[in-house]
Amino acid sequence: MFLRSLQNYNTHKSRINEKYEKFSQRCEEDEKATQAFYETHKQYLKTGQKEQNLREEDESHNNDNCASLGLR
């Protein structure tokens, strides 16, 4: 009886450990995917900000040029 209980306990414990390892692995994969997303998003924001700055600079030059020609 005792050996059967011990065997059941060990089987149950090993199943829990397997589930925990799978869960931990999934968490690590999710963390890596989240980091990759944030890095990509950060690069996108930097690129977007640069593009916005270039548009504003270009618009500013256009306004200056038009003003110097008396068009605005």
Segment 47-58 mean pLDDT: 79
Examine residue 7 and state whether it is found in any structural domain, yes or no: no
Number of domains in the chain: 1
Render pLDDT for 29-49 as a digit per residue (tens, 0 to 9). Answer: 999 999 999 998 888 888 877
**Structure tokens of 5?**
């209980």
Examine residue 58 and state whether it is found in any structural domain, yes or no: yes
Whole-number Cα distances in Å, 71 to 17, 32, 39, 58, 59: 76, 54, 44, 17, 14
3-state helix, strand, coil in the chain (%, to 5): 95, 0, 5
* Band of residue 65 on the pLDDT scale cut at 50, 70, 90: low
Q: What is the pTM of this model?
A: 0.52
Please give the DSSP secondary-structure letter assigned to residue 72. -
Segment 12-27 mean pLDDT: 95
Examine residue 54 and state whether it is found in any structural domain, yes or no: yes
Q: What is the pLDDT of residue 58?
A: 76
Q: Which domain holds residue 41?
A: 35-72
